[in-house]
Amino acid sequence: MSEKVRMSLGEVRDLAESVLRRFGLGEAHVQAVAETMVAGERDGCASHGIYRLLVCAHTIKTGKVVPDAVPSVHEPSPAIVRIDAGGGFAQLAFELGRPILAEKARRFGLAALAINHCVHFAALWPEVERLAADGLVAFACTPSHAWVAPAGGRLPVFGTNPIAFGWPRPGPHPFVFDFATSAVARGEIELHRREGRPIPLGWGIDPDGNPTTDAQAALAGAMLTFGGHKGSALATMVELLGGPLIGDMTSAESIALDDGAKASPIGGELIIALDPSGFLGSTALDHIARAESLFDQITSQGARLPSQRRYDARKRSLTEGVDIPGPLLEDIRSLID
């Protein structure tokens, strides 16, 4: 087990912003991008924490992201907003599009935000959690790079293709889930490789299509979908919704454009927001409250709601800070030395 270094969230934020500035990321993007990584560490999601600084720095260095991109707004129809990220990271584009999406959802009952030409390296739960905190039901998905084989195949076609969902609740935290349609996020395999740990069977196959517990072999071969054909079908859905539907790239097209640079995926993200009041009028809050009985039926038998682990980690880290693996911290600090 590698040595851990305790850091406050403020120190994590300062480190992330320092690295991003050092690599020339535009100031308008720095805070939004850094905050995504801080949120990952805060909520105990190490694969989406400051480890991603290495990924971002490499993507900037290879020229696969526009560091000073200025997102632009387009409204092709009353209930749809499109944000052209201009080849920049997705976070700033979402910040620009979120209030427009929320306003349209409240006006029409439901609305959609398409983010085009963005570089996406992060989890999706920050997007849907923020919308749910505003009282909206939210769904998001995005393709990535073609790293994942379809069920029954051995060649990569899909990205990790996450989907996320958020539901507003009366308490401090909404109901949120966010998971890759692959068996695991690629970052988890990367962390296993860095630490020399084997991966469980079912996460990936080697270049010859054989099951493997070797993280490096899985990264060189193909990842697998979760649930076999079920995950494969969901991954296909994400390819269609976040690709052709919004005029953006599939995972295969993204990795072809990458051309061996091993930078973060570039393409599109689709976010759908639904306003309960649009369906239910003045009775919306009553039905949102009624939904609490469903959550009670789950938790009363000892089962855990999705994101509860994140919320528990958040409560601890806000007061105690977070533990960062020493070797990872050394690699990150070497970027600015």
Q: What angle do CA 5, 58, 37 make, to 5 degrees?
A: 45
Among candidate residues 188, 269, 307, 317, the one labeled active-site is 188
Among candidate residues 48, 117, 120, 145, the one labeled active-site is 48
Whether 164 contacts 124, CB under 8 Å:
yes
Query: DSSP letters along 22-66, please?
Result: HTT--HHHHHHHHHHHHHHHHTT-GGGTTTHHHHHHHHHHTT-S-
Among candidate residues 47, 72, 173, 277, the one labeled active-site is 47
Is 47 one of the annotated active-site residues of the chain? yes
Whether 267 contacts 241, CB under 8 Å:
no
Is 75 one of the annotated active-site residues of the chain? no
- d(CA 40, CA 53) in angstroms, rounded, equals 12
- d(CA 334, CA 337) in angstroms, rounded, equals 5
- One-letter amino acid for residue 138 of the chain: A
- The SS3 call for residue 235 is helix
Residues taking part in catalysis = 47-48, 188
